[in-house]
Structure 1
Amino acid sequence: MNFYIKGLLALLLTVFSASAFAHAPGLSSMDVRLNTDNTLVKVTFALQDIEAFAPMDSDLDAEVSDAERDAAKPSIAKLLAEQLHISIDGSQYVPIAPGKVEFDQQNNAHVTFTYQATPKQQLTIDSRFLSQLPEGHQQYLTLRDDSGKTLVEKMLLKQDAQLNYSVIAEGRAQQTAAQYTWLGSFSDFFKLGVEHILTGYDHLLFLFALLAVTHSFWPALKIITFFTIAHSITLACAGLSLIELPSSFVEPVIALTIIYVSLENVFRGDHPKGRQWLTFGFGLIHGFGFASVLREMGISSGESGILVPLLSFNLGIETGQLTVAAIVLPIIWWINNNMKIAEKLLKGCSLSVCLMGTYWLLERTVFL
């Protein structure tokens, strides 16, 4: 008995100690277009990834105004231009003009550079800025031709921040390259989905609170299935840009779902009716949270190729979710079927989850 209780409490302690990292590491994207007479490069970063290198809060009042952000545009463009090394057919190139910097409503910076050449034989892209970012930062690079067709996709990492592309003649070799691109993209986004759910402690705590009242396989299966269907719907809608909600709304509401479910566990106890429908409704909100990863990388704004990342990312989330459930559920069922400790432990763990949800709610609203 003590072994199982300690295991469950250790899991909760891990979640609490890692609460500062409630989301995946930094993500960015690079979209490269090989036009007829130039090469166009668009780099997208979250502002928080750039602020340490190009400070925006010039008056040090802990708030960045629109004027301060606009004033920082030249330094952001200069920083990225210096760190982005482009080699075309063996020659190093620099942008023909300062980068054009734009900001969106999701606190992202989009920087566009134009290089006055297009490769005939070889293109090398070296994103050296990644070496200055925290371990785990990932940059999704997409190389397209002038018609928008995807030629190569690669996930750049701190240890592997370079892409070498050889211009391939039409034929079988090009088909092989396309197949490799598809498989590579599927694998990259599958792993990203697994990483996101395993480091998305708010989503895991929500799932834990939902499953904490189950005693057997069938009720747990219904909850997991309804959660999967719900977040898959909104992840697809957001990924395809059919419906968009700002993260300033989604993230606090996710915290509220954690608080509500944990309090329901405390006051209604075991077997609350209709939990699968509650799971479905709240799962729709969590799907928008999952979609924020693709949005941060600029995937949803791409002209093509969204379906493979969307599908593989969602499969990665499901795989990670099922793995966690398979580990935690036997412990939950053992405890819930032990009448001596079930009620007290359920309420104690649920209150702990509620406190964590409250912390995230305050962090995402009051303590911004």
Structure 2
Amino acid sequence: MNTVGIRFIRNKYYARTWLIQLFAIFLLLQCHCAVAHAPGLSSFDVQLQPTGVDVRLTFALQNIEAFAPMDSDLDAEVSDSEREAAKPSIAKLLAAQLRVNIDGQDREPVSAGQVSFDDQNNAHVEFHYQPAPHQMLVLQSKFLSLLADGHQQYLTVNAPAGEILLEKMLAKSDNQASVELAGANQLGTAQPGILAAFLDFFKLGVEHIVTGYDHLLFLFALLAVTHSFWPAIKIITFFTIAHSITLACAGLNIIELPSSFVEPFIAATIVYVGIENLVRGDHPKGRHWLTFGFGLIHGFGFASVLREMEISAGDTGILLPLLSFNLGIETGQIAVAAVVLPLIWWLNNKPEISTKFLKVCSLLVSLMGAYWFVERTLLS
């Protein structure tokens, strides 16, 4: 057999191998998405008052239901009356798992916590503690030890005038923080500053994009048609600009879209891009503008993380979380692209491989997007 024939067989073997591997990755991703959940998020807001300390905790209902059951009739549906009836048990649960130490003495809330629910399936619980701290305030969220590994809770402590005294991301392994006030003595401890808060939200942004399989699959589908550096950079840049705009608008409460619309729409964008790759093939015109338009919707999906943590324009510290979280997203996005793009370009620049690669991958992308769309509409 001549050299050309050997090379053809070898390339054909490589193409089949890569396609099998990509299909296996797709199946693993689908299974992982079906059984795994992104780490949970919650918030712990503390407002110092002249008369005491106001505490507001926000958790997703799914984080509470395992410890304060709401479905009393066991019909797999939680009615409004059942949720109302569960309020005292929710307040009692969180009060027992919250430690508030004022000037060296643990305090109990002056009354039962006030519980409310919102349309995002969150529970908000408010407590009031007395007296007002003068030297030291120690806070501990022991409930984190009961939740899944990876759950993070955003703690903010505000002075009576509104300025932020402390921002910190709590976790199971680090569920306590202290605030040293004017006139504190040697009991004081070093406090996390702006840099620590920046790094917390930066890390959260990286984790969100790396575990955000729908966003990554959308980006992969967009980049699957590229053959070189500049077209890929153009797509990534337009996606970055678009989702940064809507992330900022949502974080600042300028525009708000319900997750019941955003999440299915994100799945629909994945289906659309996969089908466009199948129909138009390589080098579809206007891909960067398509990226920009759909990137606006994905930005609202990114903003849902800050919304889950009750971070909004009402907080004086919105700019720091918004900036560092977005930078984390971009860093994670660039890191993933740096790993995937060389493989895409290598496959696309081999004529005997590129057509099959694009068709198979785009078909799998569309199927995965369709699965998520059904899951987020008919099955939600």
TM-score, with length taken from structure 1: 0.94
- Give the counterpart letter for 1:123 in structure 2: L
- Give the counterpart letter for 2:107 in structure 1: Y
2:339 paired residue number = 327
1:340 paired residue number = 352
- Structure 1: runs of 5 or more not aligned: none
2:300 paired residue number = 288
1:62 paired residue number = 76
Give yes or no for the alignment of 1:159 onto 2:173. Answer: yes
Shift of 1:18: 2.0
Which segment drifts farther, 20-29 or 115-124?
20-29
Shift of 1:61: 2.2
Q: Whole-Å Cα distance in 1 between the matches of residues 158 and 111 of structure 2?
A: 22
Give yes or no for the alignment of 1:115 onto 2:129. Answer: yes
Give yes or no for contact 2:265–2:297 (8 Å, CA) kept in 1: yes
- Give the counterpart letter for 1:281 in structure 2: G
Give yes or no for contact 1:83–1:128 (8 Å, CA) kept in 2: yes
Equivalent runs, 1:164-179 vs 2, <5 Å: 164-169=178-183
Q: Deviations over 1:162-206 (max 9, x none)?
A: 112221459xxx9x96xx521111100000000000000000000
Equivalent runs, 1:269-308 vs 2, <5 Å: 269-300=281-312, 302-308=314-320
Q: Whole-Å Cα distance in 1 between the matches of residues 207 and 327 of structure 2?
A: 12
Give yes or no for the alignment of 1:41 onto 2:55. Answer: yes
Q: Deviations over 1:7-31 (max 9, x none)?
A: 6455434422321368631000001
Which segment drifts farther, 9-18 or 155-164?
9-18
Equivalent runs, 1:209-228 vs 2, <5 Å: 209-228=221-240
Q: Deviations over 1:82-101 (max 9, x none)?
A: 10011111111111111111
Q: How many residues align?
A: 362
Shift of 1:358: 1.2
Equivalent runs, 1:115-134 vs 2, <5 Å: 115-134=129-148
Give yes or no for the alignment of 1:183 onto 2:192. Answer: no
TM-score, with length taken from structure 2: 0.91
Q: Whole-Å Cα distance in 2 between the matches of residues 218 and 303 of structure 1?
A: 39
Q: Deviations over 1:274-320 (max 9, x none)?
A: 11111111000000000000000011164310000000000000000
1:313 paired residue number = 325
Q: Percent identity?
A: 66
1:246 paired residue number = 258
1:231 paired residue number = 243
1:257 paired residue number = 269
Q: Whole-Å Cα distance in 1 between the matches of residues 21 and 136 of structure 2?
A: 54
Q: Whole-Å Cα distance in 1 between the matches of residues 247 and 161 of structure 2?
A: 28
Q: Deviations over 1:309-360 (max 9, x none)?
A: 0000000000000000011001001111111111112111111111111111
Give yes or no for contact 2:134–2:182 (8 Å, CA) kept in 1: no
**What secondary structure sits across from 1:340 in the alignment?**
helix
2:86 paired residue among 61, 72, 77: 72
